[in-house]
């Protein structure tokens, strides 16, 4: 009898006639930060998969980083929603064993909302943003995409923050928007394609792609306006008109993501 009941439930689930509690509402949030991505590099001939994330009214190539526009300071603003002055994180350094962030991050709030969360980062200093509530976290220098895919293969509501490195080396080595820089972005774009496909197959989803800062010539983190530039691209299982505001500031990313999550969860 019990076996029959199990077979019946499995049948209903596979036909989509019975939706398990975990499969209702928003299922998947993928946040990708491509370190040092200059918005002008986001061209269809360089990054065709990321090009698909440019939805009308849901992206800007004129977002702005914090002052100074440096990796850890910017990512702290991204995840806490606080400026460097408000968070107190005004230096760009962190080493394992040192104090980690104490402000509530976007991932902590997702946990409160019933999401399992993963945080994969390609630079050791971003370990500063690991908090106790995160389900899975790892320094993933080269395999962040694969780790994110494995995490999302499991059922339930899941949020991943994925930090990818590469352009932050190609920029200083060869110059922002140089041939080798664009080749590195081509590689990152190809690498992300299967992960983006996986997310789209997981029911209601939200994908946000952004960066921490850009650069100019072989420099970044200076007062040059180009160093502050960053893109924000939002794609979801349904349109979210107006979700990305003009004059987008990285400090507003947390609030924007939470707004998008609330909208997608409701209907």
Nearer of residues 58 and 211 to Zn ion, judged by Cβ: 211
The β-bridge relationship of strands 158-164 and 205-210 is: unpaired
Q: Please give the size of the binding site for Zn ion, defined by CB under 5 A.
A: 5
**Cβ contact 55:207 at 8 Å:** no
Residue 159, beta-bridge partner list = 29, 117
Q: Does 71 bind Zn ion (CB under 5 A)?
A: yes
129-188: contacts with Zn ion (CB under 5 A): 168
Write b or e for each residue in 12-35: b if 16 or more Cβ atoms lie within 10 A of its Cβ, otherwise e.
eeeeeeeeeeebebbbbbbbbbbb
Q: Shortest Cβ distance from residue 36 to Zn ion (Å)?
A: 5
Q: Give the shortest CB-168-to-Zn ion separation in angstroms.
A: 5
Please enumerate in sequence order all residues whose Cβ is within 8 A of that of 235, keeping only pairs 6 or more positions apart, or say none: 52, 53, 55, 58, 206, 207
Structure tokens belonging to residue 8:
């019946």
Of 35 and 184, nearer to Zn ion (C-beta) is 35
For residue 212, state whether it binds Zn ion (rule: CB under 5 A). yes
In the region spanning residues 9 to 68, those forming contacts with Zn ion, defined by CB under 5 A, are 35-36
Look at residues 129, 148, 188 and name the one whose alpha carbon lies nearest to residue 164: 188
Residue number with CB closer to Zn ion (119 or 151): 119
* Residue nearer to Zn ion on the CB measure, 70 or 105: 70
227 contributes a contact to Zn ion by CB under 5 A? no
We find the least distance from the C-beta atom of residue 65 to Zn ion, in angstroms, to be 9
Least CB distance to Zn ion at residue 101 (A)? 17
The answer to the question of residue 210 lying near Zn ion (CB under 5 A) is no
How far is CA 138 from its chain centroid? 15
Q: Which residues bind Zn ion (CB under 5 A)?
A: 35-36, 71, 168, 212
């Amino acid at each position: 009898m019990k076996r029959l009941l199990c077979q019946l439930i499995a049948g209903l689930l596979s036909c989509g006639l019975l939706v398990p509690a975990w499969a209702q509402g928003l299922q998947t949030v993928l946040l990708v930060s491509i370190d040092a991505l200059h918005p002008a590099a986001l061209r269809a001939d360089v990054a065709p998969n990321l090009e698909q994330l440019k939805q009308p009214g849901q992206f800007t190539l004129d977002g702005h980083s914090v002052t100074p526009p440096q990796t850890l300071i910017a990512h702290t603003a991204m995840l806490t929603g606080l400026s460097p002055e408000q968070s107190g994180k005004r230096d760009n350094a962190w080493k394992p064993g040192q104090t980690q962030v104490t402000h509530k991050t976007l991932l902590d709030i997702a946990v409160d909302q019933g999401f399992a969360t993963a945080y994969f980062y390609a630079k050791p200093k971003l370990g500063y943003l690991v908090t106790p509530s995160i389900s899975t976290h790892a320094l993933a220098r080269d395999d962040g995409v694969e780790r994110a895919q494995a995490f999302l293969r499991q059922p339930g509501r899941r949020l991943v923050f994925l930090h990818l490195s590469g352009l932050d080396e190609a920029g200083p080595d060869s110059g922002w928007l140089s041939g080798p820089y664009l080749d590195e972005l081509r590689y990152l774009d190809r690498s992300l394609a299967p992960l983006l496909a996986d997310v789209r197959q997981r029911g209601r989803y939200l994908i946000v792609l952004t960066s921490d800062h850009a650069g100019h010539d072989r420099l970044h983190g200076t007062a040059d306006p180009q160093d502050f530039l960053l893109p924000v691209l939002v794609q979801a299982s349904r349109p979210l008109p107006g979700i990305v505001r003009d004059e987008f500031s990285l400090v507003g990313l947390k609030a924007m993501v939470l707004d998008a999550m609330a909208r997608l969860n409701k209907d």
